[in-house]
Amino acid sequence: MKIAIVGAGAIGRLLAGMLVSGGHTPLLICRRAEQAAAFGQEGLQFFDLAGQEQRVEVKACTGRVPADVDAALLTVKSYDTRTAAQLLPRSMPVLSLQNGLGNGEILAAHLDPAQLAIGLTTHGATSEGNTKVFYKGAGQTVIGDWLPTSEKNSPAHWWAELFTSCGHAATVSPDIRTEVWKKAMVNIGINPFTALYNVRNGELLESPSLLRVMRLTVEEAERVASLGGVALENSMERVLDVCRHTAANTSSMLQDLHNGRPTEIESLCGVIEAVGKQQGIETPYNTMLLELVREAERRRTKKAP
């Protein structure tokens, strides 16, 4: 199979390595020509769970996804979803493995919704330079159809079988939207706080006052979800569990802030604020975090006085 991967960050590179090990041909769609050239010259430098380096030959280019690929994986940050959607042929089967809320809605407006699947992965990976990826921890991948169906040959089943045949077991969820919201609750409860306080995930557990505000923020987001038709409960308990299990992690939002990249705050607290407005309720905690993280992004780009 020839599979395009739009987004050559850590997860995109990890999936490229996975596809090659399953005998497939990934085509990495890069934003920068320099990165595409580096993949051509150096290949993908894949460091497995044991830290062993494997050089993997991959194809890479910039621009639109060629129409002759069989399917495409989307692994760009949520703020790039709209741009990435325009690179994809309209009727191509696409799987979005992205963080945050609202990606599926954007993609469904650009692509054939019946060919669209969305998913979540908890495999841990970090990238370095243009071509290196370090596989840091085995996780799970869950995939679902954008348009729920009981068909066993749906796009989500196709993707799950493809991943499983490459050694990365994946399961199909009949209610992937709820899974996406559940994961977003965890990110809302952790990421902005780690970014604003410059702490690792586990350190959040040490502050009773932060924990109180985290709980109020998550419960507010949970209320918005239920008004929007997604019934969630115990989200704060999941936040606490993830803080414990990923205590040593630097959250993706803190990494983005440190590395001068935009954060995914708009697809987390930003979507909660927007859905809250549609439902006629105010979301003071999520709105305040949204504004504080936006301000932190702006300040980072300024020089010290």
Distance in Å, CB of 254 to ligand KPL, minimum: 8
Is 183 one of the catalytic residues?
yes
Q: In 3-state terms, what secondary structure has residue 302?
A: coil
List residues binding ligand KPL (CB under 6 A). 99, 186-187, 190-191, 201, 242, 246, 249, 251-252
List, in sequence order, every residue forming a beta bridge with 120; answer none if it has no partner: 142
**Cα separations (Å) of 270 from 76, 109, 164, 182, 221?**
18, 20, 34, 16, 11
**Encoded amino acid at 23, one letter:** G
Residue with tokens 């990606």: 103
Residues 6+ positions from 241 with CB-CB distance below 8 Å: none
Of the pair 145, 256, the CB lying nearest ligand KPL is at 256
Q: Which of 183, 277, 302, 303 is catalytic?
A: 183
Chain centroid offset of residue 305 CA: 35
198 Rama class: left (phi>0) / alpha (psi -120 to 50) / beta: left
Distance in Å, CB of 201 to ligand KPL, minimum: 5
**Cα separations (Å) of 222 from 136, 232, 276, 292?**
31, 6, 11, 21
Of the pair 3, 186, the CB lying nearest ligand KPL is at 186
**Cα separations (Å) of 21 from 40, 55, 210, 293?**
18, 12, 44, 39
Distance in Å, CB of 96 to ligand KPL, minimum: 16
Contact indicator for 86, 94 with CB cutoff of 8 Å: no
Residues 6+ positions from 237 with CB-CB distance below 8 Å: none
Distance in Å, CB of 122 to ligand KPL, minimum: 7
Distance in Å, CB of 140 to ligand KPL, minimum: 12
Active-site residue list: 183
